[in-house]
Amino acid sequence: MRTPAGVSAFPPPAAKPLPKLAIIAGGGELPALVIQACRESGQPFFVLALEGQAEQRYIGDAPHFWCRLGAAAQGEKILRDNGTEEVVFVGKVRRPSLKELRPDWRALKVMVKATVRSLGDDGLLRAIMREFEAGGAKVRAPHELLTSLLAVEGAYGRVKPDRQGRIDIVRGATVARAMGGLDIGQAVVVQQGIVLGVEAIEGTDALIARAGALQREGPRGVLVKVPKPGQERRIDLPAIGAETVEKVAQAGLGGIAIEAGGALVIDRAKVAARADALGVFVFGVAAGAAAPAGP
């Protein structure tokens, strides 16, 4: 398991024992980083690893139990038996089909409450969060536990967006925020003022590849990722890493813009090094800024 430098813990260790944290883990490496943060801060934890979503290599030897997404009653019992008081949802959760889901009575109840058929992409997760809260658990955001990964303002490497790039970032952020408000994607690609692509459920990698192929000559396009507004931040702050940088460069785009405080940057040293090596920018824009500052 990778142990990136600079993962800090929050809250800091205290005399009073910290509440036990249930880590409900989906795909990707973020669950590993939350586990590591708990270990560093001394916060007790237990991992509920979602079958078909979480990856063993990112759970390692942490105390955990594998559970189907649809087995809500079982999951609830496991967490109760383990005495968890707080809960965090971390990692990618691919939305399963109803058949894959095989919901138990408990899961069905949540789904009915959520009237899942007319909800947006995050509707079901929001409903699950509300259930935990109704049961007395405190829902934590991954970024509360991973404060050192929060995006900062400015360039992560030596490359910076030029004037056209900054104009494209502003347009992209406007569009991406509107999309987020509609509970759709969080990412768009803009080139020379034109929106080349908008992310829905195909994921950011597919968007990057498609938009790269649609570019025209001249200044290169920019991938812009912003958080969804309001509550959604607790679930799903956009995350980027060195791999994102590589895909953007491969697709021929000019760089990545994220919102300072509104994205997780996994292993910033590696991100900056790859960006420099590949000649693309990774730029943190102040939240709510009309335009990123620049020369």
CB nearer to a second copy: pick between 31 and 165: 165
- In whole angstroms, how close is the CB of 251 to a second copy at the nearest point? 14
Least separation, in Å, of the C-beta of 87 and a second copy? Answer: 25
Q: Minimum distance between the CB of residue 74 and a second copy, rounded to whole angstroms? A: 24
Which of 144, 162 has the CB closer to a second copy?
Answer: 162
Where do contacts with a second copy occur on this chain (CB under 8 A)? 95-99, 116-121, 123, 164, 167, 171, 174-175, 178-179, 182, 184-185, 188, 192-202, 206, 210-211, 214, 216-218
Nearest distance from C-beta of residue 239 to a second copy, angstroms? 21
Q: Are 284 and 151 in contact (CB under 8 A)?
A: yes
β-strands 255-259, 222-225 pairing: parallel
Q: Indicate the residue type of 248.
A: V
Closer Cβ to a second copy, 95 or 158, answer by number:
95
DSSP 64-118: EEEE-TT-HHHHHHHHHHTT--EEEEESB-PPPPHHHH---HHHHHHHHHHTGGG
Nearer to a second copy among residue 56 and residue 97 (C-beta) = 97
Which residues partner with 92 through β-bridges?
A: 27
Those residues whose C-beta lies under 8 Å from the C-beta of residue 186, and which sit 6 or more positions away, are 176, 179, 180, 199, 225, 226, 227, 228, 236, 238
Q: C-beta of 123: minimal distance to a second copy in Å?
A: 8
269 alpha carbon, distance to own chain's centre: 19
Nearer to a second copy, 16 or 99 (CB): 99
